A and B are shown apart, each in its own frame.
Chain A
Amino acid sequence: AQSVTQPDIHITVSEGASLELRCNYSYGATPYLFWYVQSPGQGLQLLLKYFSGDTLVQGIKGFEAEFKRSQSSFNLRKPSVHWSDAAEYFCAVGRGYGGATNKLIFGTGTLLAVQP
């Protein structure tokens, strides 16, 4: 069965420092992969997605993610974190069968804190 693992529950970085949030997935075929962000009191917003092609995908707010099939990973990165990036980040995989590719399976989330 498909699954998503986010090994880091909570991460704290300094403003201006680089960021990498980890995501590992379990899926038999080429997965549809997503990163969503949830700011306090808000719903989730799509940061970026990977379906096929170039394994390095660019998203909104200066984020990028790299799909590595050999490691079953889809880590999210940002070169310089801003205080407004403090939020919870969710990795997700689409189930990929029939028309149900958007029945997403979410990871447990990584809560990012940004210190001045």
Chain B
Amino acid sequence: DVKVTQSSRYLVKRTGEKVFLECVQDMDHENMFWYRQDPGLGLRLIYFSYDVKMKEKGDIPEGYSVSREKKERFSLILESASTNQTSMYLCASSYAGRGNEKLFFGSGTQLSVL
């Protein structure tokens, strides 16, 4: 069974802390994504990676960075957490190419920044 695993279900951090959110997929997918989900705003794409060490900014990359050193792992980094980054963060993965647009999502990490 396909699996996208996010390391933490709930996380509480303080303003100014550096925060790492980890995501691992076991499907050998080329593409990985980080979205944030906020009530009334739906899901918004933060960053996208289409290969190891390759990344593209999404719609709301400000305040975030990413790392993909291995194909199965995609990390989201909040360099200096702020209260407006309190949100649900969803990781997803997929195969590359047209016809492979099915995204597989993790269960999410609810981050609270105090």
Residues of A at under 8 Å CB distance from B?
A: 6, 9, 32, 34, 36, 41-46, 49, 51, 90, 94, 99-109
Tally chain B residues at the interface, Cβ within 8 Å.
Answer: 29
Selected contact of A45 from candidates B40, B97, B105, CB within 8 Å: B105
Selected contact of A49 from candidates B31, B92, B102, CB within 8 Å: B102
Chain A's closest residue to B45 (CB) is A103
A102-B42 in contact given A43-B108, A44-B90 (Cβ < 8 Å)? no
Residues of B at under 8 Å CB distance from A?
A: 4, 31, 33, 35, 40-45, 48, 50, 56, 58, 90, 92, 94, 96-103, 105-108
Pairs A–B under 8 Å by Cβ, sample size 28: A6-B42, A32-B101, A34-B101, A41-B107, A42-B107, A43-B4, A43-B90, A43-B92, A43-B107, A44-B90, A44-B103, A45-B105, A46-B102, A49-B102, A90-B42, A99-B96, A100-B56, A101-B101, A102-B31, A102-B100, A102-B101, A103-B48, A104-B101, A106-B35, A106-B42, A106-B44, A108-B40, A109-B42
A50: min CB distance to chain B, Å: 11
Query: Most chain-A CB neighbours within 10 Å: which of B48, B94, B98, B106?
Result: B98
